Chain A
Amino acid sequence: MLKADKDIYDAVIIGAGLSGLVCGCYLAKAGMKVLIAEQHYKPGGYCTSFKRHGFTFDAAAHSFGGYRENGIVKKVFVDLGIDKRVQINRFDPSDIITAPDCEVSFWDDVDDTVRDFQKAFPDESNNIRVFFNFLIENNPQSFARLRNWTFKNLLDEYIKNDKLKSILSFPLLGNGGLPPSRMSAFIGARLFIEFLLDGGYYPKGGMQELPNILTTRFKELGGTLRLSSLVTKIVIDDNTVKGVVLEKEGVIPSEYVISNCDARQTFLKLLGREKLSQEFLEKLSNMTPSLSMFVLYLGIDKNCKTLPKAGSNIWHMPHYDIEKMYLSANLRNTSNVAEYMVRVSPDGQTVLAFINAAFRDRIYWNRHKKDLLDVLIKHIERQTIPGLSEHIQYKDAATPYTMYRYTMNEEGAAYGWASTPAQFADPDLRRPSCMKGLFLTGHWATQGMGIPGVAYLGYDMANYILKKKKIPVVN
């Protein structure tokens, strides 16, 4: 059966996560005919919001970074002409770490942040300055040198004090799911820059605004978005992409397919094992996804006087052993909760708390979700928000299984592949040489995580395709 021309696309993007949306906007802006197919009924992936009992909750992503003048998210929004369409506020401080012996904050002015750290660790004053300078300079050549390093190697090069090293690593466990001994120095440094030194941004109206604005822009640029539209197959012929199969609509022909969804599903399920080399299959089966997370959502009445400043992430650090925190997260249960990140949302009406947790199936979480939720509330009440439980009007939580159910990320992985040096920057994963016309974008592409990371990948992937097609980029 021949398809009408209107159903033939230059590019189909699987998944309307932020990376897919950014990529789609750039391609559409350059004049390509683009379809984005998203299995969920709303766009955004991990960057969505939902309403319950009159409260609006951010589902997972709760603030973002990279929005200074030279920040990648800023660049993308300016390029796409949407920077004026949404009010982006920055919360100052963006993050506060409460360690056993001190408290340090990440301020809008990096010099203030440096001073905070220097005050807590006067003996390391110079080292702190040099370390932060290295991060701020962000020199591509000196960053490229970090390729095989762990974040621990990087800290050891600059910092002596073990407690300080732990404090510098703790928010990276929360934002990247690995302790310093396992995390790639490159990714750790990027997270540090984009989440902490230039983090804390929030769109007025909630995180859902980001995918919503991108979606509106994508459609204005001539793009087509299909929600509740599951892709069941990537069609190929002679190692060349020919299109996709949508569950409800059948075959959609396309020259390019860009997968913004889970990597193993892309290759094993949508493409098919038989289409891949033994070497590629082995690589894929040896790779490890990142940890998932457990997120607490609380709707709070107006009389709670003990709430911390809205919009700041508060990192409760009960001890300095980050390795132990990581091991606990892998065996997450009601008796090993200790560290957490908690924040009052900018509207002041909800409280979100996050802990790292390994994947377990629905049966496990049906049994344990409520207990873990209550344990976490007790910890927060004791350490950060006295009297919290008296002001809760609504409570719920998302488990690693919930993360999987809504986004189809393997094992509810919060950050794509685990960001180890061994799994970092494999060029054959985001531009698989075995399949012409297939590309990956988003946090499974091995190069980036968080909103700045995936925005970069969406932008870069689009640029790459336009270069190959010799279509000029219009800004």
Chain B
Amino acid sequence: MIANVEKEIVSIISDVSGFDENEITSEKNFFKDLEVDSIKAIEITVAIEKKFKVSVRDEDVPKITTVKEAVELVNNLLKQKNSVNVKS
């Protein structure tokens, strides 16, 4: 499941940034390496929310600066979502 999250996120970043998927490795910095600006950072967040059906808190948006961080955040959000689903 974790491998899939990373794959999906890389695909989203490729769609938004125009960079090839194989150029988008897990340590790449969005702003420094992938020409992501504020608008594209928001587009990435919007696409992540839609793809994984999660909602990213405003204060977490600036924290997503590498693929690795994005994957960690989404995995955490998915965990929270699943635990809520189990409870209800």
Contacts and interface: CB of A to CB of B under 8 A. Distances in A.
What class of interface size applies to chain B in its complex with A? 20 to 34
Interface in A135-187: 138, 140-149, 186
A148 B58 contact: yes
Contact of B46 (A426, A448, A456): A426
Contact of B58 (A138, A147, A424, A447): A147
Nearest to A144: B41
Contacts of A406: none
Given A141-B65, A427-B16, A467-B18, A447 B39 contact: yes
A464 interface: yes
B47 A140 contact: no
Contacts of A146: 58
Interface string A451-463: 0000010000001
Contact of B45 (A147, A448, A463): A147
A447 B40 CA distance: 10
Interface string B12-47: 000111110000000000010000111101111111
Contacts of A147: 42, 45-46, 58, 61
B59 A145 contact: yes
B31 A141 contact: yes
Contact of A142 (B37, B46, B62, B65): B62
Contacts of A425: 39, 42-43, 46
Contacts of B59: 145
A315 B32 CA distance: 40
Given A140-B31, A144-B38, A427 B43 contact: yes
Given A186-B38, A427-B15, A144 B61 contact: yes
A424 B39 CA distance: 9
Contacts of B17: 464, 467
28 contacts: A138-B38, A140-B31, A140-B38, A141-B61, A141-B62, A144-B41, A144-B42, A144-B61, A144-B62, A145-B58, A145-B62, A147-B46, A148-B58, A186-B38, A186-B39, A425-B39, A426-B43, A426-B46, A427-B43, A427-B44, A427-B46, A427-B47, A428-B47, A464-B17, A464-B18, A465-B18, A467-B18, A468-B18
